[in-house]
Amino acid sequence: MTKRETFLSNKGKRILFVFFAFILMYLVSYVIDPYASFWKSYFDRNIFTLLAEWLVSLISCLLISESGIAIHAKLNKLLPWPEHPGKRLAIETSLNMVSVLLIIMANLLCYSLVNGESVTRYVDWPIEEIRGLIQWVVTSVIISFVIIAIHTGDFLILNWKNAAMEAAEYKFSAATHKQAATEAELQALKLQIDPHFVFNNLSVLSELILENQQLGYQYAENFSKVYRYLLVNSRKDVILLSDELKFLTAYIFLIEHRVGSGVHFEINVDTNNNNLHVPPLTLQLLVENALKHNKTVKNNPLIIKVYLDNENLVVENILIPIEKQVSSSGIGIHNIISRYQLLSDRLPEIVHDADSFKVIIPLIKL
């Protein structure tokens, strides 16, 4: 893992910061006491004296900056921010203040040695020089606090970026897993249709072949067309309503020869709108559900209606309940609702009263 570059770990930025601290030192000192005698005759001094002072100030800023960076780097190893942020801030602030005071003391000592003065002279300093020393200390502490603020801000920004990236990665991962789970569940729901469809019709076909070979042949032809439709569209999420109605026409042929005149269909759907879609085999499941739970007798046929109601497809049948209800696997309507939960924000609606059973299917526009 590569070492992450912070703001002050870049050498170019560190040099710029030292010059910034140098300017800040004089700026803060002037703002604290702009009428001090130090400023009144500041530029009247010898140029070499000014250059020597600037060099000393620049070195002081460099030492304060580098000590702050060194303290920060050392504490990163001994006391990382995430573990004890409050304790880390207190210790880093204290160490930086101690470091600033030591640098100022070392600076004063060097100044005394260079000028051949005794260190004890600072005990009897006039008020003007004491005020200047206080300004120097305050300015140095401010520079130190700026360094701490940069490091702390860098840590907070890094944490924010990492949290944002982790949240984005989590959302992306969750969305990917959800999509995979959705696709897998949708395929599983589609596969439930196959046995439900095949076993019902193969049993009828075997009986028709024994009774009437020609009718059995026609039934087999239509059954193959219907089953081909199932195979072709089983991997699709939705299909055109017009194609689903064509499939229903072929499927009704099978029903009419399976049930006879005990069932009557009323189809009233305008298929001119090719932008309307439904999950494949929706109509087959609803028709099969109506046949499963109702009587189909010649003198009182089961009426199944398929029609449009605004942007919904309605499959409605009258109720002629059989005396002994057959056990149901729940594949039919549950399958349709489950698929709509995966495909749309609108779900099918079931209306059940004393005389009829109605399923309202929302049409999907792509």
For 88-102, write each residue's pLDDT tens digit: 888 888 888 888 888
Amino acid at 32: I
More confident residue, 9 or 293: 293
Q: Are residues 72 and 108 in the same domain?
A: yes
Q: Are residues 104 and 198 in the same domain?
A: no
Helix (H) or strand (E) holding 91: helix 85-115
Q: Are residues 180 and 55 in the same domain?
A: yes
Asked if the structure places residue 207 within a domain, the reply is yes
Asked if the structure places residue 1 within a domain, the reply is no
Which domain range does residue 157 map to?
7-184
- Reduced to 3 states, what is the DSSP secondary structure of residue 164? helix
The neighbour count for residue 77, using CB atoms within 10 Å, is 7
Domain count, the chain: 2
Q: Are residues 165 and 28 in the same domain?
A: yes
- For 300-311, the pLDDT digits (tens) are 999 999 999 988
Q: Are residues 168 and 198 in the same domain?
A: no
Q: Are residues 304 and 345 in the same domain?
A: yes
Q: Are residues 177 and 196 in the same domain?
A: no
Question: Among residues of the chain, what percentage have pLDDT more than 90?
Answer: 12
- What pLDDT is attached to residue 4? 52
Q: What is the mean pLDDT of the chain?
A: 78
- For 115-168, the pLDDT digits (tens) are 555 555 555 566 666 666 777 777 777 777 777 777 677 777 777 777 788 888
- For 209-228, the pLDDT digits (tens) are 877 888 888 888 888 888 78
Cα 362 to Cα 85, 237, 275: the distances in Å are 56, 14, 13
Domain boundary among 131, 151, 184: 184
Q: Are residues 166 and 196 in the same domain?
A: no
Q: Are residues 180 and 200 in the same domain?
A: no
Cα separation of the two ends of the chain:
47
Please tell me the distance from the alpha carbon of residue 270 to that of residue 309, in angstroms, as a whole number: 11
Please tell me the distance from the alpha carbon of residue 135 to that of residue 84, in angstroms, as a whole number: 33
